[in-house]
Chain A
Amino acid sequence: MLQFVQQLVNGLSIGSIYALMAVGYSLVYSIMNFSNFAHGSVIMLGAYFGFFAMRLLGLPFAVAVLVAAAGTALVAVVLERLAYKPLRDRKAPFLYFIITAMGASIFIDNFVIATIGPTPKMYPDVFGQGPIILGDIAIGRVDLAMFAISAVCLAALIVFIDHTRLGKAIQATAYNMKASALMGINPSFVIILVFAIGGALAGIAGVLYGMKYQVFPQIGAITLKSFIAAVFGGLGSLPGALLGALLLGLIETFVSGYLSTQYRDLIAFIILIAMLVVRPSGIMGKSSEDKA
């Protein structure tokens, strides 16, 4: 029982990071209908932005998170304007978007390797050493921070999407870009907005993930998990991405706790395949017929 609760806590903590990544990715997908496979590189940049903000500029943690979020939001928007927009303008096929995203990802990752170098870097200690003991359960300080910050960000996002005019504009555009454009919603603005939000969430996720482990150029590879989480929950559905990410985090932690750590990463892939076979539209996705 004790081990169960312990695993539950760990699972929610890692799941919340996956959620932060998956929600941003899914948000962009819901508007653009394409997977921004450069999302992982933006997360990696976030981890470095946060690291340099604290180590070089000596900023406090909270400010560093904001700096990282602003930096990655900017990167995501620049990427959108320079790489994706020209393709959109000439109605390029889906394939070109995927290839461009791949190119962007390779460029960013290797630019960091070439300039900063591959050596892993450690964040300064912010939350203090030693776990927090609650009864018989030990919670890592960083894990708790991860969960708390992710929860706040996700709650803020949900409030924003559901209860503000801008959020409703995003929803309308996701539902039907042409119709919402006729209603006076500027699609170009909405696209920039979702890239900025997705980028900011990616930056925060990068800082948290870099704190838990280390900062290194390949750190963005973790985003594969968030892609899987998004498919698990239903591509393009925000609640789906959230649920999928938490479930994936929990399943992974339980598998490594009760079976073996070696299988932890493999289980994500097995879930992906199982999901594609049983219910390709995901938990919350709607299996819709596109009107041609």
Chain B
Amino acid sequence: MEYILGIFELSAINLVAVLGLSILTGFTGLFSFGHAGFMAIGAYLSAILTKNFHLPFVVGILAAGLAAGLVSLLLGRLTLKLKGDYFCIATMGFGEAVRLVFSNWTYVNGARGMASIPKYDDLSLAIPFVTALVAVVVSWNLVNSRQGRNMVAVREEELAAQMAGIDVLRSKMTALVVSAILAGIAGALMANFIGFIAPKTFNMTKSTELTIIVIFGGLGSISGSVVGAFILTALPEVFRAFSDWRLVFYGLAVIVIMVGRPQGLLGGMELTPSGFRKSMAARRARAEFARLKAEGGGAA
């Protein structure tokens, strides 16, 4: 029982970070190799505050989100104006730099990592679930607002978005900061759930794993990210014996998805009554369009 609960806890924690990347990559079309860096900032900050200063968990979580958000604001200012590749390389460098800083910082025990961080007890074990729930609601609301539509417009066609009066830079910045805040909070949750953190926990593989979950669930779908986070956190636990091959499979699956079914599990579709209706309508329209075309191009 405890084991199953543990898997759910981990899924909820991963979900918080995955939602951020879903907004950043799935909805805004930006790709980050460095979000583990934001998780690390959140994790270490919460660990220090709860362990060394004996502050409550909630303070750690809020501070983690705030710190990660501020750092992302700085990173975004420097890199978001540039072409996509520069942003990717900068996030890669950022993630590695954060890891190096914590590896060399004796106050947090350097590369050996921080142990005996206060852990959630029976009651506070609810914190990750509540946080994940709030994160889902807030992310859902964001992507269904005008700000969210602007992000999608930026992803779809940047030039047309500008011509539609959208401040592209601001939309990208919003997505980056929101995703960084969520990553920072996820880091804090992780530190206080596991009770031990080390710099190598937050390497580039961690960053890309989170993005892989978004891709599995489907780019541009919040419900896809939720389903993806739970399945992809649980699967490796169930198939422990194949742990070496897990990432081999992930890597291959990512290529197959991108080449064959780029929308992923639920790309652009939401598991809600209205989302379902919409996708049915779209399917009918496609069928009708195909029929018209087959009948001799009356549509063109």
Residues of A within 8 A of B (CB): 29, 34-35, 37, 82-83, 86-87, 92-96, 98-100, 102-111, 113-114, 221, 224, 227-228, 231, 235, 262, 265-266, 268-269, 272-273, 276-277, 280, 292
Contacts and interface: CB of A to CB of B under 8 A. Distances in A.
B152 interface: no
Interface string B136-169: 0000000000000000000100010000000000
Interface stretch (B59-67, B114-122, B245-253): B245-253
A114 B85 contact: no
B215 A99 contact: yes
Contacts of B246: 110
Contacts of A104: 251, 255
A276 B79 contact: yes
Interface in B86-130: 86, 88-90, 92-94, 96-97, 100-101, 104
A86 B89 CA distance: 24
B133 interface: no
Chain B interface size, as a band, is: 35 or more
A265 B199 CA distance: 15
A108 B255 CA distance: 12
B271 to A, nearest CB: 23
A86 B259 contact: yes
Chief secondary structure at chain A's binding surface: helix
Contacts of B244: 110, 113-114
Most B CB contacts (10 A, CB to CB) among A86, A93, A103, A221 go to A103
Contact of A99 (B31, B83, B86, B96): B31
A93 B29 contact: yes
A231 B259 CA distance: 28
Contact of A29 (B25, B85, B205, B251): B85
Contacts, number: 132
A237 to B, nearest CB: 13
B85 A100 contact: no
B290 interface: no
Nearest to A236: B85
B84 interface: yes
A102 B208 contact: yes
A108 B33 CA distance: 17
The 9 closest A-B pairs by CB, nearest first: A107-B251, A103-B254, A106-B251, A110-B247, A269-B97, A114-B244, A269-B93, A103-B255, A100-B258
A292 B246 CA distance: 43
